[in-house]
Structure 1
């Protein structure tokens, strides 16, 4: 189930979410973020009521549960950066950020959690890291937006794994912590964005669905997979985002990014083949 949850999250982030936000180009990114938080809170509250007998209770609370305040801040920053990238026509920069992010996740898994990689897996990670480094060097500039996206989401994944709380309960806690800020922004600072437009109002309400479900799936996958596997699978999302940005929105794909794309997928193929062989040996044993 961990692989299914991860696929659902990454394909949603790579295809569904960017199209959704491009349909809201006329709405400021901060207003979309506030609506995302509000409607996500409404949706997850309803899900908690409906599924209360099927989720693990977080009680009694542990000191580590306080880290959910940190994860809430990290995911809020990541959402805002992603919104600005998509709305400003920098979807390729967002794609690069999420290509870099799994490498950060692998490093955090090794340094903080003590996760170990088999030799072929380590070679796959090194190949992917080299591909991203080559793209950065050839571009000639340090991609600050991409790096900020990568760091914020990798740290978020680490915190959620350490907290170890039920995926839906954790997300409910995060949205509850962010909700006062979102409501305050909508009431005090945000310009009116609906203006009698039911289609736009519907798209804003749906931000709760396209925000909450992939993140719940991601948290569920994080509980079941190693951080290294979770991180490398995340190349699915930026690959989809890269294709979408070029094919649907006309962004220019430079040769160095195309080369990076091919090398990263080669690394993924090596990693997947090694994982498959290890699973077969485990079943045989």
Structure 2
């Protein structure tokens, strides 16, 4: 139970910080979304290298780099994370914050289904009801958009799969070491993308004054902290619990998109979002009921047999 409480604390902090990301990246919308991610990856690697040096964990990093199988899983999780970053940044910087919010609302349900499929975690009738209602809500939202909500679906798929793969690859790896490995893998991708941007539209992150430049470079710090917290949480909690915590992020994103960015909400979109929120309420009620019935339950955190 001590590990469970710690996992909940780490997860709560991670998802609250992620929920504040639209506020942060909304400040640097003048920088191209395809340019931000390479800078973000480079800054994250620098920050991670400093942390690894201060905590003397280079031996752990080297051990993973020599383990081809584990490095392969980390490479897969890193590419999924990179894709999630890019899709999210595109959504925020092109005025689709509400769609990113929808994606993160869908993501916990996708994470829960991964737990059912790969971990054989059992869902109650209320949980299945919640998943069904949310599915209908997503369908209604897609119809209301008038086009396939690729940002929402891309976010939910990439981060849902990232959570599962990361849990399998790094359940016995601390958050700092795991983040360092994942960032090292994606740096070459970021370099190639940065070169392409430089040769086509040009790099302009440092063309808007020192304030914007500082925010772009600090994105590595604001990226690393919640990922480290998430890594510590994923080591201690089953996927179903992580799925519940993930609802914090889209709530904050929705509030930013609707009240700060002023994005419009049609009747169809409201119906879709309300359906998802009803599903969230059902999941929370069911979780409270289960905790009251089995307050001393021991959580199964065995690796997900993805292979």
- After TM superposition, the score normalised by the length of structure 2 is 0.83
Q: 1:187 to 1:139 in 2, by over 3 A?
A: closer
Q: CA deviation at 1:191?
A: 1.8
Whole-Å separation in 2 of the counterparts to 1:23 and 1:196: 12
- 2:49 counterpart residue number: 45
1:247 matched to 2:252: no
1:226 matched to 2:231: no
Is 1:109–1:228's contact at 8 Å kept on the other side of the alignment?
Answer: yes
- 2:117 counterpart residue number: 111
What SS class does the counterpart of residue 194 from structure 1 fall into? Answer: coil
Q: CA deviation at 1:40?
A: 0.6
What SS class does the counterpart of residue 224 from structure 1 fall into? Answer: coil
1:200 to 212, 223, 232: 212
Q: How does 1:92-241 map to 2 (within 5 A)?
A: 92-163=98-169, 164=171, 165-183=173-191, 185-186=193-194, 189=198, 190-195=202-207, 197-241=209-253
- 1:2 counterpart residue number: 7
Q: CA deviation at 1:32?
A: 0.9
Q: 1:34 to 1:14 in 2, by over 3 A?
A: same
Q: Which moved more, 1:183-192 or 1:62-71?
A: 183-192
- 2:301 counterpart residue number: none
1:32 to 26, 31, 36: 36
Q: Give ranges in structure 1 of 5+ residues lacking alignment.
A: none
Q: CA deviation at 1:105?
A: 1.3
Q: How does 1:2-21 map to 2 (within 5 A)?
A: 2-15=7-20, 17-21=21-25
Q: CA deviation at 1:184?
A: 5.0
1:90 to 88, 96, 113: 96
Whole-Å separation in 1 of the counterparts to 2:91 and 2:179: 24
Q: Deviations over 1:20-69 (max 9, x none)?
A: 2111112111221011101111111122222347x977847472342111
Please tell me the root mean square deviation across aligned C-alpha atoms, in Å: 2.4
Q: CA deviation at 1:185?
A: 4.7
